[in-house]
A and B are shown apart, each in its own frame.
Chain A
Amino acid sequence: MTTRGARLTIVFALVLHGACAPSGATSPAGGVVSPPGALPDMSKLAPSVQTQIRERHAALSALVAARPGPVDLANGYGELGKVLMAAQFPDAPEPYLLDAQRQNPSDHRWPYYLAQLYRSRGESEKALAQFARSSTLNPDDVASQVWLGDTYLQLGQPEAAEPRFAKALALQPSSVSARFGLGRAALARNDHRGAVAQFEDVLTRDPKAAAVHYPLSLAYSALGDQARADEHLRQRANYDILPADPLMVELETLLESPQTYETQGIRALEKEDWTGAASWFRKGLALAPESAALHQRLGAALSALSEMGAARQQFEEAVRLSSDQFLAHYSLGVMDQQAGRHDAAIARFSAALLAQPKYPQAQVRLASSLRRTRRAREAVAAYERALADAPDLAEARLGAALTLAQLGRYREARDRLDAAVQAGGEVAPLTHALARLLAAAPDAAVRDGARAMTLVQELLQRGRTLDLGETMAMTLAELGEFERAAAVQRDLITASRQAGLAPVTARLAANLSRYERRLPCRTPWTEDELP
């Protein structure tokens, strides 16, 4: 019998003993000690979590039998309550947390967890009482104050909420969540100036706190400043502004489950902690080796660490386990594409799109590989599909136009670029492509040197690049200014040589030769320039 098995046998005996006892035992402190009750149905939970909960339950049974002091007893009850709460049982944690509170009424953790449990069940009045108790026991805790204020706001009591947020702010002057709460309380009291002051302060301290924009917009609107209201309305986004909450963070990391490790890994990825992310995903895979999603995510973390071979293995395993893993298919496609294996890339992107038809990035990548394998018409169709799903996707607009140019359909390419530039958004690459087409398209009806020059001048305001310089030279040549075109081209060649860009230097030299012979450029893009 394993150690765990032996322990469970003892635990089972203890549980039976507890279940048969006519009444609770007496704690050393003199209070009545409840034996742990039966666990809820856990059949749907991950086996590792079932084991974890049973072990805590067994530990508590053993503890009760040992008649320890109330603090230890409280911890035993509380730990079982915590793990049940982490497993998102709505009812099961409550008696254990209440027992923990009874055994050790001075520990702020138990009312805090009870408050969060009630809050998750929407039982605000009960949450309020427990948050109040917790904050009395731990008056310097910012999270308790913020949640207390937040719960008052939910109940439509901004006057009661305000002092709680104010106290949180006094405890932690940098607290964004406390300021956000003060702003919300002010807004609820129709103190629009006060709300604006708090919300603006939040945005100054945390420009990413996009949730502020909407209530700020409401406040400005109420003050009659519609311009500012509209400006903030446009920036509205979902973004949780929460207090630092170590007790709840502890719960989030408590369960030994693939899902917990996956969540932690995703959070690490969001923080660009690639090593940490890989570690979490590996822990998850130790429990769930057949999880395609975990393999895919581990692959993503490894590719961020430039461990491309290992990443590829993970992606391959992900798609072997589940053909629905479109991100893994996509990642494999990108790897193949970058290695110039376009036929393989096409197969990967096609598989990604089979699993997730609305995936415009995959369509764009597919189109690029199709174009590079001389399937330009199919590439145009793929770009069209990408644009159907994401009409503003600049890469798709640009790719479609350049592929049309490759097919000799210069007018269509020009018209598309024109429309895309007019539509706005991130248009610099589109403007540049349009300028080059106007300067160097073989179709005379498409060329417009004067307009190309206007566009190039606009782009030069933003910065100078070799590509743009090349377009400038093309434009000058189109306008008949061959000497200036050649001079620009020579400067570009010098720069590209210094940068060690041999293929670029060769291309520039070929066009320089044309300009020196007073011939304009009639090749807007060479094959290697296209995306």
Chain B
Amino acid sequence: MRGGSGGTVGLATMTSPSIGCSGGRRAGCRRALGGLAFLTLLCLACGCAADPAVAPVAESTPAPTIAWFAERAAAAGLSFVHVNGATGRLYYPEILPPGVALLDYDGDGDLDIYVTQGRSLGPTLESATTPAATARTVGTVGGRLFRNDLRVGADGSRDLRFTDVTEASRITADGYGIGVATGDIDNDGRIDLYLTNYRGCQMYRNNGDGSFTEVTAVSGTGNPSGFAASAAFVDIDRDGWLDLYVANNVSYRIENHTVCPGPAGAPDYCPPQIYGGMPDRLYRNLGRGRFADVTRAALPGGIARPALGVATADFDGDGWMDIYVANDGEPDVLWMNQHDGTLRDVGLAAGIAVTAEGKAEASMGVDAGDFDNDGDDDIVVTELTGQGSNLYVNDGHARFRDASASSGIGGQSLPYTGWGTAWIDYDNDGWLDVLTVNGTIVAQEGRAPLVFPYDQKKLLFRNLANGRFQSVGAQAGPAFELSESGRGAAFGDIDNDGDQDVLVGNNSGPLRLLVNEVGTRNHWLGVRLVGRDGRDMLGARLSVVRTGLPTLVRRARADGSYGSANDPRVLVGLGTSVTAPSLRVRWPDGREESWPSVPIDIWTTLTQGSGQ
């Protein structure tokens, strides 16, 4: 961060004081600030109905005067256009990327950006047509790293600027990039980068001086012959080192490539079942960033399904991290931690592998979060057009109920093929909402002259705090009117102002940066949870204890979504509450600590061992 207070310890950023509603979504607005238009906007953000928890946002509600999310990629210097390398041969990997990541690689307190890049595919992964032309289109071919040069004015205003630092970073991601995962593999307090590619993966260790060193071979995480979409860092064995789960997709080779025409003979990409699923891999961190492939012993059953998304959480509350894998067209997997370094798939019995009708759907993106504020992590999974996203409600013991239809998420997402997704509390009202980026995998014939006719709009679902959700994308601003082939999405507070922003990777399209303009109308708590060595403690569980209000449970995570890495910090919406809450943290090693009063509306770093 340039110009901000920065730092990794203590206070990071102060936002403007609270404005707007005093009663939050349930109590309605009691204060009117400014003119009618502004009041309308506030009401949209906070709810003004007598019981807004159940009242839908009216179709006739006037359009907001400002966008809830403003698209600022180009203005912020994020000049990146994804190239999927399509030459008309319809190579399967072309429909999967790009993934995106939010990571503070330089440790200056703000989130930098990594985005994967494609290239032309051919029989030997060489350019099938003209690499020079591709390079002219996108600049240097390969994934890109952008440094966040955020400037915070004295009045709290934000000036977001990004600089392409790929060359200086020495990241040479010139494979066919699909996704990205982030985590500190050697506990040096610097976040490292794992890139999933068509054909193998790459691990980059952060040198701490702005550069990275590729350590794929020495770390033993190359996923040889693999074809991974997503990956997640998670401390499976509670030994204090991040292990690595790699979600492999299909056994595809350019050499066995085929095309699947529709009934009218139009050639199109094939479904994954044509190529067959590929087993995922689990790498155990042996310490200091050296890994052992423990797949055979740790993931029994030889499950080989076309995985796309992965999210980790402690679903049964036993203090050990579990793994949810979204599979395309085959039952999803819920790996439950057996506390001995192994995991066991209980997806079907847990009610989460298939829909309530028993159908295995085309699961893509996934996220775990406590949307109903009952203290456990629920799951949202994005699916194909006509299937609708799925919502699985956790009973606290990792037994799930399919609430896709009853929540409204399923029905309202039926027209969309969802990819990246997350539980985000976009309006900081204390209830997790859902955002999904979308794009079809079947060409929408007739919508010529699109080069890549797989575009759809994004979706934003507002949590009505009664188990139901309302699609409010139409009211969220022009960014939600953009129809693009959305794939990866990463979520985090990019401008450090206390609300969730969104980075969207579009297949064959520009990178999008959706800056949240409404979250700070409510109060918030921002916490970075780090270990003694400065590592972000992925998997740490944060309980926000509020006087007279339900405790909110959130967790530190970078995984989830699709092929993307999120802000590892925890941002909790507090609605109109101005009381500093007490916090309880259960660290990934099972230990617990408390902090009696943590300030709100600023980012705070909590280090393991500094609490009570």
Question: Chain A residues in contact with chain B, CB under 8 A?
Answer: 40-42, 44-46, 48-49, 86-92, 119-124, 153-156, 184, 187-188, 211-215, 218, 230, 233, 236, 238, 252, 255, 257-260, 263, 324, 355-356, 358, 391
Contacts and interface: CB of A to CB of B under 8 A. Distances in A.
Interface stretch (B16-24, B263-271, B532-540): B263-271
Interface stretch (B37-45, B164-172, B350-358, B487-495): B350-358
A40 B448 contact: yes
Given A45-B265, A49-B264, A156-B410, A238 B360 contact: yes
B357 A184 contact: yes
Given A90-B447, A213-B358, A233-B348, A188 B263 contact: no
Contacts of B447: 40, 90-91
Contacts of B7: none
Contacts of A122: 385-386, 388, 413-416
Contacts of A258: 265
Contacts of B297: none
Given A41-B449, A184-B356, A88 B414 contact: no
Contact of B251 (A42, A155, A358): A358
Contacts of B153: none
A156 B263 contact: no
B414 A154 contact: yes
Interface of B: 251, 256, 258, 261-267, 276, 302, 348-349, 351, 354, 356-360, 385-386, 388, 405-408, 410-411, 413-416, 442-449
The 7 closest A-B pairs by CB, nearest first: A46-B265, A214-B358, A40-B446, A122-B414, A122-B415, A41-B448, A156-B405
B264 A87 contact: yes
A177 to B, nearest CB: 12
Contacts of B348: 214, 233, 236
10 contacts: A45-B264, A46-B264, A87-B264, A90-B446, A120-B385, A187-B356, A211-B357, A255-B263, A259-B264, A324-B258
Q: Is the interface of B mostly helix, strand, loop or mixed?
A: loop
B362 to A, nearest CB: 12
Contacts of B411: 124, 154-156
Nearest to B348: A233
A233 B442 CA distance: 32
A254 to B, nearest CB: 9
A358 B276 contact: yes
Nearest to A43: B448
A259 B408 contact: no
B263 A218 contact: no
Contacts of A45: 264-266, 445
Contact of A44 (B408, B442, B445): B445
A450 B501 CA distance: 75
A252 B262 CA distance: 12
Nearest to B262: A88
Question: A40, A211, A212, A238: which has the most chain B beta carbons within 10 Å?
Answer: A238
Contacts of A236: 348, 354, 358
Nearest to A151: B411
A218 B348 CA distance: 10
Given A41-B445, A122-B414, 14 more contacts: A45-B264, A49-B264, A49-B265, A90-B447, A121-B386, A187-B356, A188-B356, A211-B359, A213-B358, A214-B358, A233-B349, A257-B263, A324-B258, A358-B251
Contact of A156 (B302, B407, B442, B446): B407
A86 B264 contact: yes
Given A89-B445, A90-B445, A255-B264, A156 B408 contact: yes
A230 B261 CA distance: 40
Nearest to B414: A122
A40 B411 CA distance: 29
B263 A123 contact: no
Nearest to A226: B349
Given A123-B414, A124-B411, A156-B410, A88 B359 contact: no
B356 A218 contact: yes
A136 B46 CA distance: 42
Nearest to A251: B263
A184 B385 CA distance: 21
A324 B256 contact: yes
A122 to B, nearest CB: 3
Question: B349, B445, B449: which has the most chain A beta carbons within 10 Å?
Answer: B445
A324 B258 CA distance: 9
Nearest to A87: B264
A476 to B, nearest CB: 42
Contacts of B351: 218
Contact of B385 (A121, A211, A356): A121
A88 B261 CA distance: 11
B456 to A, nearest CB: 10
A391 to B, nearest CB: 7
Given A45-B266, A87-B264, A358-B251, A40 B445 contact: yes
A259 B386 contact: no
Given A121-B415, A236-B354, A259 B262 contact: yes
Nearest to B351: A218
Contacts of B359: 211, 238
Nearest to B251: A358
A238 B348 CA distance: 13
A267 to B, nearest CB: 13
A57 to B, nearest CB: 13
Contacts of B416: 122
Contacts of A188: 356, 405-406
A154 B410 contact: yes
A212 B448 CA distance: 41
Contacts of A124: 411, 414
Contacts of B444: 90-91
B411 to A, nearest CB: 4
A321 B81 CA distance: 39
Contacts of A184: 356-357
Nearest to B261: A259
Nearest to B264: A87
Nearest to A257: B265
Nearest to A222: B401
Question: B264, B386, B407, B449: which has the most chain A beta carbons within 10 Å?
Answer: B264
Contacts of B264: 45-46, 49, 86-88, 255, 257, 259
A355 B256 contact: yes
Contacts of A155: 405, 411
A233 to B, nearest CB: 6
A155 B407 CA distance: 9
A215 B386 CA distance: 20
A44 B356 contact: no
Contacts of A123: 414-415
B58 to A, nearest CB: 16
B358 A259 contact: no
B358 A156 contact: no
Contact of A92 (B256, B261, B407, B446): B446
Nearest to A355: B256
Nearest to A238: B360
A39 to B, nearest CB: 9
Question: A44, A89, A154, A391: which has the most chain B beta carbons within 10 Å?
Answer: A44
A359 to B, nearest CB: 10
